[in-house]
Amino acid sequence: MDPARKRRIRMVIALSCAVLLVGALAYTSFSAASTAVEPSQLLASTNPGESYQLTGKVVDGSVVRAREEIRFRVRDRTNKKSVAVRYVGAVPDPFREGREVIITVRSAGAGAPPHSFIGEKDTLITKCPSKFKESGPAAPASDAKKS
């Protein structure tokens, strides 16, 4: 076979593979993706069975641990609209009230309180803070002397 033709064929095959890969990536990423939402968007509308990647801040005073389950509310970053989340699985060390979290959730379904969601196991991630200062004026850190 003419070498130039051979090279053209190889090029066409390589480009076809690249186009196929891009097509597959685009298709599967849209079909496998979780919609990234804030609580106010979940309050506006949810589809039963669909999973969402919920992002927001853990509401102060909302964290309740009950045996292996943990319950908390997640609110929008900029307002107070919040949804309830029940979660079983690994809780990252930085998880606490007021901290930003990302968790994959589904609607808790019929029989559950309205606007409540179930977190998928081991999907809870908490933003790793670069610092952990509480709000309020600076005060001495630790008063306790060595015991």
Q: Which residues bind other proteins (CB under 8 A)?
A: 3, 7, 14, 21-22, 25, 28-30, 32-37, 53, 55, 65, 67-68, 88-94, 96, 100, 102, 104, 122-123, 125-147
- DSSP lists the bridge partners of residue 75 as 57, 82
Return the C-alpha torsion angle 107, 112, 113, 116, nearest 10: -20
- Closest CB 110 distance from other proteins, rounded Å: 26
Q: How far apart are the first and last CA of the chain?
A: 86
Query: What is the nearest approach in angstroms of other proteins to the Cβ of residue 121?
Result: 9
User: Nearer Cβ to other proteins, position 32 or 110?
Assistant: 32
Rounded distance between C-alpha atoms, residue 43 and residue 35, angstroms: 14
Cβ proximity of 91 and 71 under 8 Å: no
- Are the C-beta atoms of residues 100 and 83 closer than 8 Å to each other? no
Least separation in angstroms between CB 145 and other proteins: 5
Least gap, CB of 40 to other proteins (angstroms): 14
- Complex with other proteins: residue 64 or 112, whichever CB lies closer: 64
